[in-house]
Amino acid sequence: AAGVIQSPRHLIKEKRETATLKCYPIPRHDTVYWYQQGPGQDPQFLISFYEKMQSDKGSIPDRFSAQQFSDYHSELNMSSLELGDSALYFCASSLTSGENNEQFFGPGTRLTVL
């Protein structure tokens, strides 16, 4: 079965550079979530999209922006990168119907800021 695809899997950037992370949800899933997991930390919710509209926003810096496109893939854009942005970034998708709409996670993008 198709899973959530994230690209790239690894990314190395310098401080003050920009980065774009991509997420391709499971086909027919209508909701995408982005999470950030710092070293030794729990995954923290950043932002979500439902049917291509932003549906919720968490602890996402103003330097970050995201969008969901007509084909439902999502991109997380990160500018003016800081050392503290080094983390694992997970994308998850779900089908928002019923009570227990499980979120399926991608393998993550490991961003290293030097």
Do 66 and 47 touch, CB atoms closer than 8 A? Answer: yes
8 binds another protein (CB under 8 A): no
> Binding string to another protein for residues 9 to 48, with x set by CB under 8 A, is what?
----------------------x-x-x----xxxxxx--x
Least CB distance to another protein at residue 2 (A):
14
**Site residues (vs another protein, CB under 8 A):** 4, 31, 33, 35, 40-45, 48, 50-51, 55-56, 58, 90, 92, 94, 96, 99-108
